[in-house]
Structure 1
Amino acid sequence: MRPMPQPPAFASLTADAYRQLEHAASLKGLLKPFKGKGELEHLAQVARVIEAQLQQLMAAVSQQAGRPPFSLLDIRLVQQNTSAGSTFLRWRSRDFSRMGVAVWERQMSCTNLPQDLREALYRIECDRIALNLQMSVTHSLYRQATACAAKMANAEQALRQFVNPVEESR
């Protein structure tokens, strides 16, 4: 491994990075009685907006991890789109033959890795873990809100089937 240049400080995500998400992501909007499918559709829409904002934060972290000195390592942080429609940050080997936290652990165990670079990789990993958790929860909320909105629409349709014939016979 070649000698590493002095790494710039990795800028971990701060409260400022999350400021926009704070207002949209209040649990007050979730823990209330929903009066119909419209409110659930709105909740799903809010979850989609938060997902897009989380993707922007993920892109910022992966861009930082893609610059020197990190780009000189045998590890890459990439955004991976899933078949479920969400995005996660994943560690990959430089040749893309291996993926997962084991790739990161292997890089961390290199004895010639400078301590400040090791600490920066640790901060990147902490941001990756937190962002993946937040994306997973937000995407699950989106899916559940969408499914529940459809169920409420079906319930409303069933009600109308049984209410309208009675009203028409009067």
Structure 2
Amino acid sequence: MTPTSEPDTQPGYRALSDADWLAYESCLKGLLKVRELGLLTHHATEAAATLHQIQTLIINRAWRWPLRYLPLMLCRGPARSGADFLRWRNQQNNRSGIPGWQTLVQDSSQPPAVREALLAIEHDRIVFNMQMSVITFILRQIRECSVKIEDARKIAAPISPATK
């Protein structure tokens, strides 16, 4: 299952809906109930892949309108963890776009529809980044626990009944 990707025909930014998050939420079901690390890895990796689809959806919707007409970009920003978070970038100097976003949202000369769209995009960006952070943390924990379990097995191997 993938996030809804039907063409956007309505003007303006269309914020993510419950249907857009449904595929991601279904990947999370049972994630923390699983005790087998291989299965946990599968579920978490599937959830991360679905998040990347949601990320593309947010970027495409934002670029269509209003960002195409503003000096601001919403783009993927890689982190040291390997995750790609959504970042605002200022098109004029390629620096962090948060100050530019704030200026545009507070600019009374911008049409209300543009300011509302920017607020909706920021909401989706914050929620997406939170979800990406959680999944990245879970994947890191799975990797670390896999190493610990393997180390424990190696330590216990000489005393295992199978070797006597």
TM-score, shorter chain, exceeding 0.5: yes
TM-score class, shorter: 0.7 to 0.9
**Mapped partners of 1:108, 1:128: distance in 2:** 15
2:153 paired with 1:151: no
SS of the equivalent of 1:88 reads strand
- Note the C-alpha offset of 1:137: 0.3
Q: Say how many residue pairs are matched.
A: 155
Q: Does the C-alpha gap of structure 1 residues 31 and 100 become closer, same or farther in structure 2, counting only changes over 3 Å?
A: farther
**Residues 3-82 of structure 1 correspond to what in structure 2 (within 5 A)?**
8-26=11-29, 28-31=30-33, 34=35, 39-82=36-79
**Residues 105-120 of structure 1 correspond to what in structure 2 (within 5 A)?**
105-120=102-117
Aligned to 1:102: 99
2:129 paired with 1:137: no
- Note the C-alpha offset of 1:68: 3.9
**Where do 5+ consecutive residues of structure 1 fail to align?**
1-6
SS of the equivalent of 2:64 reads coil
RMSD over aligned CA atoms reads 2.0
Is the contact between residue 62 and residue 78 of structure 1 (CA under 8 Å) also seen in structure 2? yes
- Relative contact order (C-alpha < 8 Å, sep 6+): which is higher? 1
- Note the C-alpha offset of 1:164: 6.0
- The residue type equivalent to 1:30 in the other structure is L
**Mapped partners of 1:45, 1:76: distance in 2:** 33
- After TM superposition, the score normalised by the length of structure 1 is 0.82
- The residue type equivalent to 1:118 in the other structure is R
- The residue type equivalent to 2:138 in the other structure is L
Is the contact between residue 41 and residue 146 of structure 1 (CA under 8 Å) also seen in structure 2? no
Q: Deviations over 1:111-137 (max 9, x none)?
A: 211001100111010000000000000
- Note the C-alpha offset of 1:108: 1.1
Q: Percent identity?
A: 29
- After TM superposition, the score normalised by the length of structure 2 is 0.85
Is the contact between residue 47 and residue 141 of structure 1 (CA under 8 Å) also seen in structure 2? yes
